[in-house]
Amino acid sequence: MLEPSADEIRDWGNSVTQFIIEYLGGLRDRPVYRQTSSREIRGGLDSKLPIKGTDFDSLLKIFRDSIVPFSRQNAHPRMFGYVQSPGTAIGAFADLLASTLNANLTIWRSAPAPVELERVTIDWIRQILGFPAEALGLFVSGGSMANLAALAAARQTKPDSLGRLRVYASTATHFSIAKAAALLGIGRENVRHIAVDARFEMRVDDLVAAIKADLEAGCTPFCVVGNAGTVDTGAVDPLGDIRDVANRFQLWLHVDGSYGAFAILAPSARKLFAGMEQADSIALDPHKWLYLPVDVGCVIYRDAEFAHAAFAHEAEYTRMFGEQADEAFVCWDYGPELSRRFRALKVWMLLKGVGLDGLGEAIEGNLACARHFEAMVQASDDFEMAAPVELSIFCFRHVPAHLRDESPKVIDAFNERLLVALQRDGSSYLSNTTLGERFALRGCVLNYRTTLRDMEILLDDLRRVAKSIPTSI
């Protein structure tokens, strides 16, 4: 088992490939989600400590029978919850190859071609974003880690500051920014949340007022975070205006593009991102809108010297001798990790295999689905939008005729129950958010399989499931 023969590897590979074909081919026939319990799942797993080994077919059978049906089917075309990529076959195969080679991307010398491939792929992303040629970056585990790395670099711009450091971000910003501030010792309380307007975009006047007030109070503003697609409504902050404010007060501009930034590949969304190319750093998530399987996030720095100041560490056991500039590249000088898997392979295979035209078309298709849903809601008399659709996120409520005169509290409680019932039903999956203190159903189209017809089925599912829900609180 530790070192299978060529025949065994072929047999394992054939069985796994057969599983993948059947799984992907049968996606639409599966429920997106199946109600289950910890006890039920444990019942299908033999949890005794395995002293003797088990053959591969039996392991695959447990995966097929006891893991797959009790997982949320993230590749399903009506999986609209959170910001969930569907994964791609090419990404799955790339992960298999990366694990087979088992490259460890710590420094160039440890994995010459994999590190070179990562640098080429990061440079493609740099070009997609319109960053200058000197910009550098790394693949990390996800958007949270990319935000953490960027804030660590930003902090180096004010290393000797005596006052309290302050970072500014809209109230709609992902919680990973506050978490990064806590982990970096800046403190959650030093993240100033700036109000948003009716489109859920940062109010730039409020940003200026907050910075001025902090300066007067003796604090040290150092960074402003702009969103290129907020997690709850998909709003893109006015990045050009925020850049102007950052210049005026000498702040680092970090853009959190974990959800939305790759939508720059879709012609109809491109103009929303004007100014993003002027950021000092950006967080992106190929495991979101490049459709790749987790985990792969990405951080890019305009001037990587600040990242170097934050992360470089010279230890005797890692010291390098006689390397030239390119070959001396040290990955851990630009991010928090030492051992890193070969994440670049799946991003490279996807970009080169599908091409930017194909990806742009797929993203455009997702945007069209969200817009189609918004148009259907606006044309209906039993649904209402809770936020404008900017990218592929849609927030809304069901207000059937018998609830039309009820209070917001009653309508919100009904929608909460509707969400639970929809998830249990399994045909479509949504998540939720709170907007202006009101409950909202929330969906995000992030799957190249999703069609306009799926958006219609979602509305039908909601109407069907709603009939079984009691109205009273």
Instruction: Tell me how far, at minimum, the Cβ of 443 lies from ligand PLP, in Å.
Output: 14
Q: At its nearest, how many Å lie between ligand PLP and the CB of residue 391?
A: 11
Rounded to a whole number of angstroms, the CA Rg of the chain reads 24
End-to-end, the C-alpha distance of the chain in Å comes to 57
Which one among 142, 221, 293, 443 touches ligand PLP, defined by CB under 6 A? 142
80-119 positions binding ligand PLP, by CB under 6 A = 83
| Residue 333 is a binding residue for ligand PLP (CB under 6 A) | no
The one segment of 41-49, 217-225, 256-264, 427-435 that binds ligand PLP by CB under 6 A? 256-264
Helix axes 89-101, 6-25, angle to 10 degrees: 160
239 neighbors 228 (Cβ within 8 angstroms): yes
Cite the DSSP H helix spans in 380-440. 408-425
Show the binding pattern over residues 273-312: x = contacts ligand PLP (CB under 6 A), - = does not: ------------x-----------x---------------
Residue that the structure tokens 């797929």 belong to:
362
d(C-alpha 276, C-alpha 257), whole Å: 9
Q: Does 259 bind ligand PLP (CB under 6 A)?
A: yes
Stretch that binds ligand PLP, among 99-107, 139-147, 162-170, 351-359 (CB under 6 A): 139-147
Among 73, 121, 190, 258, binds ligand PLP (CB under 6 A): 258
Task: Determine which helix (DSSP H) or strand (DSSP E) holds 193, and give its type and residue range.
Answer: strand 191-194
Residue 380 CB: number of other CB atoms within 10 A? 14
> Can you tell me the distance from the alpha carbon of 451 to that of 432, in angstroms, rounded to the nearest whole number?
22
Cβ closest to ligand PLP, residue 136 vs residue 231: 231
Write the CB contacts of 249 (distance below 8 Å, at least 6 apart in sequence).
211, 215, 221
Residue 138 and residue 115: Cα distance in Å, rounded?
10
CB of 125 to ligand PLP, least distance (A): 15
Number of residues that bind ligand PLP (CB under 6 A): 12
**What is the four-CA torsion angle of 452, 458, 459, 460, rounded to 10 degrees?**
110
Contact predicate 79/27, CB 8 Å: no
Q: Would you call the peptide bond into 214 cis, given omega within 30 degrees of 0 as the criterion?
A: no
**Shortest Cβ 262–ligand PLP spacing (Å):** 12
- Of 284 and 304, CB closest to ligand PLP: 284
Kindly state the helix (H) or strand (E) to which residue 446 belongs, with its residue range: none
Task: Report if residue 366 touches ligand PLP, rule: CB under 6 A.
Answer: no
174 touching ligand PLP, by CB under 6 A: yes
- Nearest approach in angstroms of CB 284 to ligand PLP is 10
Task: Name which of residues 216 to 235 contact ligand PLP (CB under 6 A).
Answer: 231
Q: Is 370 in the site for ligand PLP (CB under 6 A)?
A: no
Which residue's CB is nearer to ligand PLP, number 114 or number 297?
Answer: 297
Binding site for ligand PLP (CB under 6 A): 83, 142-144, 174, 176, 231, 256, 258-259, 285, 297
